[in-house]
Amino acid sequence: MKPGLRGPRRIVCLTEETTEWLYLLGQEERIVGISGYTVRPRRARAEKPRVSAFLDGKIERIVALEPDLVIGFSDMQAALADKLIRAGLNVLVTNQRTLAEILDTLRLVAALVGAADPAEAWIAACQARHRAIAQAAAAWPRRPRVYFEEWDEPMISAIAWVSELIGLAGGDDVFPELAVQRMGRDRVIADALEPVRRAPDLVVGSWCGKKFRPERVAARPGWAGVPAVRDGRLHEIKSCDILQPGPAALTDGLEQLHRLFAAWAGAARSPGPA
């Protein structure tokens, strides 16, 4: 550990986005434990012990690591955070849901480790790319209507930051009224035919860690006439790329959405067969 290092020196990250962010900031030496679901960056799995799932963790092992800070995400980790607090640890749990809240959280974590300047540089570059993507999409004659499915049984639509990313990438979320709901249970689509009525041009699935099955979506009763199904535009973006409220969603998740929408827009502009 570098002498004179400011802030917490031994951090356990209960979710992937904090691990990825600390690596991007060059602060990975502070990390002493990570989530078992971490895949970004790839080398973290080889370098750091995996001490938690999402809803629970190895409390005794985490305590043994002697962290001076444990960082988690969302109300769903409340029970895990409670156990760690009762074990005498310092715990920070954030609950970001929007793009603005994600950026605020990145700044908060960066400030804790004395890395505000590189954080601001990264955020500025990221926002510049966002503006370029939005400008490119503004040239399309029409924006695609997009149904983003976070889970299949029950069907859960896009969380707020994903809905905002859809907009930045050049599309329109077909369930904007659900995106403002902070809890997954409040984004459940009770009527399986409601997405059909909203006629999405694309369906994007990211089933929280399990493989998206487009053929199952296409086979749902009454879905054959949906433009996305009719045109074969059912796509997967892996949850690690878009459902983590951190750097991945702001970069790879957005880029993948934009590529899908740009391909759709290009096909929509192409003249039909003579």
User: 240 burial class (0-12, 13-18, 19+ CB within 10 angstroms)?
Assistant: buried
Decide: 65 and 84 in contact? Cβ < 8 Å.
Answer: no
User: What residue type is assigned to position 113 of the chain?
Assistant: V
Query: Could you tell me the maximum CA-CA distance found in the chain, to the nearest angstrom?
Result: 73
- Numbered ranges of CATH 3.40.50.1980 in the chain: 11-122, 141-269
Q: For residue 180, give the 3-state DSSP assignment.
A: coil
Per-residue model confidence (pLDDT) at position 72? 97
Backbone angles phi, psi at 151, to 5 degrees: -155, 155
Per-residue model confidence (pLDDT) at position 4? 61
- Residue 212 CA to residue 215 CA, distance in Å, equals 9
Sole residue written with tokens 């917490």? 8
* One pLDDT digit (tens) per residue for the chain, 274 residues: 555 678 999 999 999 999 999 999 999 999 999 999 999 999 999 999 999 998 899 999 999 999 999 999 999 999 999 999 999 999 999 999 999 999 999 999 999 999 999 999 999 999 999 999 999 999 999 999 999 999 999 999 999 999 999 999 999 999 999 999 999 999 999 999 999 999 999 999 999 879 999 999 999 999 999 999 999 999 999 999 999 999 999 999 999 999 999 999 998 765 544 3
Per-residue model confidence (pLDDT) at position 270? 54
Q: Tell me, which fold does domain 11-122 have in CATH?
A: Rossmann fold (3.40.50)
Q: Which CATH number fits domain 141-269: 3.40.50.2300, 3.40.50.1980, 3.40.50.300, 1.10.1040.10?
A: 3.40.50.1980
- Residue 155 CA to residue 119 CA, distance in Å, equals 36
Of 72, 96, 204, 213, the C-alpha closest to 150 is 204
Per-residue model confidence (pLDDT) at position 274? 37
